[in-house]
Amino acid sequence: MDENAKPPETTTPPTPPPSSPQARFGAEMRRLREAKQWSQAAVAARLGCTQTQVSRLEMAKRTPSKSDAEKLDLIFGHDERNYFVTLYRRITARPGGPRWFMDWVDQIEPYANVLRSWDPLLIPGLLQTESYARHIFSQGPRITFKDVDERVRARMQRQAILDRDEPPMLLCLIDQAVLRQPLGDVAMMREQLMHLVEMAQRPAICVQVVDSQCVAGRLGAFMIAELPHGEPDTIHADSSAEGQITDDPELVASVWNRYESIRLWAYPEHVSLKMITEAGQEWN
């Protein structure tokens, strides 16, 4: 018998699409295993299962358990970030937003030392009030009340990083026109702008208003995350269909250059806060 011959395949459940959380779990498991040059059998021994089970996890033909995720975090040294546990939660719980953006929310934003953002159309998500966020999400095409509730809840939970004992430094650039953009009712806009001023009093948060004549900002919103331990900067850039998350050096450098070009059009922080306060008082 040929040693290289493959045994006949047995009937197995269909493999989830590559974009599914289960496929992502398996792909990351395989990537980290190969980076350490371990065999599936070596991981199986550490995980306390069979080589076949490891293979099925990597092929997304077996749903991991919470215990699998916790052990894999320990095996690959990601227990501090709960990397696989977070991926496991994505499998078992419906995300409160687009799947591509949940990668940013789960794996990048909570671990950043510094977050820089540019928003030409809206108040940044991390600084939105619940009523403002609800109004934005409720305008989505064919969105249900349940979906709106889930996304609002996810956004409020996302903001919890700002309440930590050691929050990331948050540096926000906002287009001047956003302050007077009529969204929702007057009370909602006044509440949002006053909340923005209040949050900007925190030592780790800086909000600057950018003159609306800034052409460099017309290409859309983005965020830059500076990560610890020498990890490369990672960017999230919006588009009309799906955002992009990458640490590709050329793309990151391009976004950094755009950020600096926009910042040249920003008013000083104390002037910006006065502008926001005055705009908030006009909403009455």
Q: Which residues of 227-245 are buried (b: 16+ CB within 10 A; e: fewer)?
A: beeeeebbbbbbeeeebeb
Tens digits of pLDDT across the chain (284 residues): 344 444 444 444 444 444 567 788 898 999 999 999 999 999 999 999 999 889 989 988 888 888 899 999 999 988 777 888 888 877 766 555 565 577 788 778 888 999 999 999 999 999 999 999 999 999 988 889 998 998 999 899 899 999 999 999 999 999 999 999 989 899 999 999 999 999 999 999 999 999 999 999 988 999 999 998 888 899 999 876 567 888 889 999 999 999 999 999 999 999 999 999 999 999 98
Contact 125, 158 (CB under 8 A): yes
Q: What is the pLDDT of residue 79?
A: 73
Q: Which domains does the chain have, with CATH numbers?
A: 21-92 (1.10.260.40), 99-282 (3.30.870)
pTM reported for the whole predicted model: 0.71
Contact 153, 264 (CB under 8 A): no
Of 74, 97, 96, 94, the C-alpha closest to 84 is 74
d(CA 190, CA 173): 19
Q: What is the pLDDT of residue 5?
A: 45
- Supply 196's token pair: 């923005």
Q: Is residue 144 classed as helix, strand or coil in its secondary structure?
A: coil
Q: What is the pLDDT of residue 14?
A: 41
Contact 188, 154 (CB under 8 A): no
Secondary structure percentages of the chain, helix, strand, coil, to 5: 50, 10, 35
Of 214, 4, 10, the C-alpha closest to 120 is 214
d(CA 270, CA 207): 9
**Four-CA torsion 22, 27, 33, 37, nearest 10 degrees:** 160
